[in-house]
Amino acid sequence: MFDLERIIRPNIKKLQPYSSARDEFKELTKDMVFLDANENPFETGFNRYPDPQQTGVKQLLAMQKGVKTDNVLLGNGSDEVLDLIFRAFCQPEKDSVITLPPTYGMYKVLAAINTIKNIEIPLKPSFQLDYNSIKKRFAPTTKIVFICSPNNPTANSFNVEIIKKILCNFDGIVVIDEAYIDFSTQKSWVTQLADFPNLIVTQTLSKAYGLAGIRLGICYASKEIITVLNRIKPPYNINILTQQKAVEVLSNQHKTSLEIEQLVNERQQLTEILKNIKIIKKVYPSDTNFILVKVDDAVKRYYQLIKKGIVVRNRSNQILCDNCLRFTVGTPKENKKLIKILSEL
């Protein structure tokens, strides 16, 4: 049985969080005089500290995802969210996490930064989860399983029933990283928060929303988990410019939806065309905004593409990804250029 109290790090349980001026006095009415935070009083639109709870952004997200604002925590990119999760639940030098390579490289880096053992359980050659091997590593000191679905770099989504089995049988936190969910045919796990008290879903505005530059990562979880993470997050982690831009873009879903539709269309077309290119041995099906391909010689093709002015990602050092390159889906014009150059190699 999942017991949140058991898995919170003891020092975090005892922590007296920093209380900011804006935490202690929240009613920002126009006629109040604010002499509490040592800010510069001359009005620029930016002279005040940002809302530490990012109420405007959270209200929009909560409404759109069908959750409550206290199921939401925002970070300076998903990377900050993932780091907060490590620091809330994993004791350095003692605890471990499970990751499922080939996958997003940040989980491993964050484990190393926090001196947490990273137990790697490779996917099956089909790029699906190897439940029997994962299950064997469940232990009281194993605090988190990171599941990236759709997965980067393999581009597929994982079997829902197996994810459910992990959620039901693991006593620690299950993080489902949904950075690519907006390009997927799968349903988001955000709607399942009430059923799984150990579930954390992370999303980002960096991919489908076209806002990688503003750094906004989102964490959805039970109110209890969010309360723990809120205790350790830097008070003003989301700046005013980011909050304003996020509200603007989230209020105009239509534009984002059109772009997603176009990118998914481009992805389908690109997938079919890539299958007929001589140097490409395999095109993996994609549920994301990128395509993984196996080529004859990844290093050679990677440098040839650079010479022609196209930068792609060489993933051939990762397990199960021998000679694999990852192509982000670009604009129609960029994709045509990629195809032309690949065909001429």
Ligand X SMILES: *Cc1c(COP(=O)(O)O)cnc(C)c1O
Q: Which residues bind ligand X (CB under 6 A)?
A: 77-79, 104, 148, 152, 177, 179, 204, 206-207, 212, 217
Residue with token string 């309360």: 227
Nearer to ligand X, 71 or 152 (CB): 152
As measured in angstroms, the least distance from the Cβ of 76 to ligand X is 8
3-state SS, residue 104: coil
Nearer to ligand X, 22 or 242 (CB): 242
As measured in angstroms, the least distance from the Cβ of 25 to ligand X is 31
Nearer to ligand X, 100 or 283 (CB): 100
Nearer to ligand X, 77 or 172 (CB): 77
User: What's the rounded Cα separation, in Å, for the pair 200 and 112?
Assistant: 21
Residue with token string 């509490």: 36
User: What's the rounded Cα separation, in Å, for the pair 137 and 166?
Assistant: 11
DSSP 325: E
User: What's the rounded Cα separation, in Å, for the pair 48 and 275?
Assistant: 54
Comparing every residue's Cβ against ligand X, the nearest one is: 77
As measured in angstroms, the least distance from the Cβ of 100 to ligand X is 12
How far CA 78 is from CA of 159, 215, 233, 281, in Å, comes to 23, 8, 13, 33
User: What's the rounded Cα separation, in Å, for the pair 344 and 334?
Assistant: 16
As measured in angstroms, the least distance from the Cβ of 14 to ligand X is 29
Contact 326, 153 (CB under 8 A): yes
Nearer to ligand X, 22 or 153 (CB): 153
As measured in angstroms, the least distance from the Cβ of 82 to ligand X is 8
